[in-house]
Amino acid sequence: MKKISLAIVAMMVTFLGFSQEEGTQKKSNVQEFTPSKLLSKGQWDIKFFNSLYTQTKQTGAGTGESFTIDRQNFFTNTTEIYTGVSNNSRINVGFIFQVRANNYGGQNALSVFDFKNNGVDSRSGLTTIAPSIRVQPFASVPNFSFTSSLYLPVFKDEAVPAYLDKRSTFWETKFFYDKTFGGGDWQIFTEADFGFNFGENQSDADALTENSGERFANNSMFLPLSAFLSYFPSSKSTLFVNAQQAFLIDLGNNFEQNYTQLGFGGKYQLTDVLNIEASYGKFVRGNNFQGLGETFSIGLRALL
């Protein structure tokens, strides 16, 4: 964990090192293309985002009291590809792909990158694909938009101890809004997600052929609310802090959760096309089998 933390801190210092740039330059992709901003017709947005979540604490059943567990590690790669399809730059379409690798039993956090798949304490593979659409509904409010995606599980259902991903058809709609202020040096970005998990109840899973643990979220609504405060030390870089409160609301599976997460990060425009992003998140509280771990993320984004 020290190596990962030092890498992120070093990247933050790099971003700050560019803070002496003149502010008279035109907006960079980092400043202009927030999640609220849609693409022009024929433009492409490709994002390759990697997150490592690791935990040694978890809350108890129905409580917020935490206890220590053997280390568990969860890696997720999310690849998003979008393109603009409307002449007025108000509709984008695309696909999302997710690859995961998890391991359990006290293994080192970086061991998850071995991508082992023994079904007992390590699993990995392509887990979901999702067609997606982005829409800017009001021409008069260009900094408000939403993205709606339908995640379909494509990994094999196995009656094994290890968890890989949710066994859900997941329909998620994200609403985005941002506001720039302070002469363009500051920006507040907000996001509200409404996600619905559909599928067989956990209690109905066949113990011989199905993984009941991957059905914990079925028939529920996932509602995370997020806010990001960003500062632009230069035309090509940004630093941000963020907070998220999320709820998993029972709609028939007799299971609920909630958590609070805090974090920070930064972005830098490497070239006219390519941006890099790094961030850190900490789950500071939760309820009902919620992990209280840390997330280390790094991503690349190309705007063509």
The whole-number pLDDT of residue 20 equals 39
The reported pLDDT for the residue numbered 113 is 97
Label each residue of 126-147 as H, E or C.
EEEEEEEEEECCCCCCCCEEEE
In a domain, 29, yes or no: no
127 within some domain: yes
Q: Quick one: pLDDT at residue 302?
A: 97
- Of 266, 259, 261, 245, give the one whose Cα is nearest residue 294: 261
What is the structure's pLDDT at 27?
79
CB crowding 179-216: b at 16 or more within 10 Å, else e: ebeeeeeebebebebebbbebbebeebeeeebbbbbbb
3-state secondary structure of 116: coil
- Prediction pTM value: 0.90
In a domain, 25, yes or no: no
pLDDT attached to residue 13: 42
Residue 178, both tokens: 């941002």
Indicate whether 24 belongs to any domain: no
208 domain-assigned: yes
> Can you give the CATH number for the domain in which 60 is found?
2.40.128.130
Q: Is residue 28 part of a domain?
A: no
pLDDT at 17: 43
Note the pLDDT of residue 15.
41
179: Cβ–Cβ under 8 A, 6 or more apart, which residues? Answer: 143, 187, 188
* Total Cβ atoms within 10 A of residue 71: 19
CA–CA separation, 206 and 253 (whole Å): 16
**How many domains in the chain?**
1
> Which residues contact residue 293 at a Cβ distance below 8 angstroms, ignoring those fewer than 6 apart?
53, 54, 55, 56, 57, 72, 282, 283
Q: CB-side exposure of 292: number of CA atoms within 13 Å?
A: 17
DSSP 8-class letter at 110: G
Q: Length of the chain, please?
A: 304
In a domain, 27, yes or no: no
Query: Rounded to an integer, what distance in angstroms lies between the CA atom of residue 214 and that of residue 170?
Result: 13
Which pair of structure tokens corresponds to residue 216?
């914990």
CA distances from 98 to 50, 79, 88, 104 (A): 10, 6, 30, 20
Torsion angle defined by CA atoms of residues 265, 46, 302 and 73, in that order, rounded to the nearest 10 degrees: 40
3-state secondary structure of 161: coil
How do the pLDDT tens digits run along the chain, 304 residues long?
Answer: 544 444 444 444 444 444 334 444 567 888 889 989 999 999 999 999 999 999 999 999 999 999 999 999 999 999 999 999 999 999 999 999 999 999 999 999 999 999 999 999 999 999 999 999 999 999 999 999 999 999 999 999 999 999 999 999 999 999 999 999 999 999 999 999 999 999 999 999 999 999 999 999 999 999 999 999 999 999 999 999 999 999 999 999 999 999 999 999 999 999 999 999 999 999 999 999 999 999 999 999 999 9
Residue 141, in any domain of the structure: yes
Domain that holds residue 227: 2-19+40-303
